[in-house]
Amino acid sequence: MRIVREVEELQRLSDAERAAGRRVALVPTMGALHAGHLALVAEARRRADLVVVSIFVNPTQFGPGEDFAAYPRPFEADAARCREAGADVVFAPSVEALYPHGAETIVEVERLARPLCGASRPGHFRGVATVVTKLLAAARPHVAVFGEKDYQQLAVIRRLARDLLLGVEIVGVPILREADGLARSSRNVFLGAEARAQATVLRRALLAAEGAVAAGERRSAALLALVRAELEKAPLAELDYAELRDPESLEPAPAALARPALLALAVRFPAEGGPRAVRLIDNTVLRPAAPQGEPS
């Protein structure tokens, strides 16, 4: 496995692979890799001849008071995991390599970035869209692989790839969970024992809504009330949002669901040994069955 730190070196490598008729895949990460990231690498391996994993903690997607400085950076362990997972290249640029002195260009997907995490983290998706565009320009992949846990991020990246005519396939991989249902996340390590135990409430809330829809509930307000009631069973949980949205446009879902709807959650828990909260996200797409006689 090769470690590359300069943009130009990665571009030359990718160009050579393309010229030889081989497919290139990119898996963008911020490091602190876990099994969820390795599932993305495995999907990339199935789709390409050369798999590039980028490891870059992007400063422009962190807001004031967020955990940029504390974000874990176990590079040697991450590189070993990439090697074991079958990656061919780890791209680990410096901040200066991706944001050279005087850089002033940003990429912003306006409408999709406004709700959900965009409402509580202003500027976050501007940073995401900008760095992903830079990573795609550096790796020049045929396909880029992302997790569906960050559902809004995936929607933003799909839109920017289409709008900017980047010619790259954006692939989403289903959420990978711990045995107790908690979505895998690099931020889980910041949870103390009690907060970690209570964090499973996110999955329970999603399952409660799925069960209600399967039983025939279609009222958005009733479903959200059920979700909030479940989340309230975790005393340490502080709700950021619980919302129903159109899976494609991210516009608010109608008062009565007739089509699939994204149920998205963001919840904060106390961090172990520090004042900053740990913000966890999770989601599911609720799929109400069509009435008999109508196509689903």
The catalytic site residues sit at 37
Burial class (CB in 10 A: 0-12, 13-18, 19+), 13: buried
- Tokens 């109608």 sit on residue: 254
Q: Which residue type, as a one-letter code, is found at position 192? A: G
Q: Which residues is 51 bridged to in the sheet?
A: 25
Tokens of 12: 């030359």
Tokens of 187: 């931020």
Nearest to 278 by CA among 215, 209, 205, 186: 186
In angstroms, rounded to a whole number, what is the distance separating the alpha carbons of residues 242 and 227?
8
Q: Is the dihedral of CA 262, 267, 271, 275 positive or negative?
A: positive
- Do the Cβ atoms of 284 and 204 come closer than 8 Å? no
Instruction: Report, in this order, helix, strand and coil percent for the chain, each rounded to 5.
Output: 40, 20, 40
In angstroms, rounded to a whole number, what is the distance separating the alpha carbons of residues 292 and 280?
38
- Angle, vertex CA 279, rays to CA 276 and CA 285, nearest 5: 175
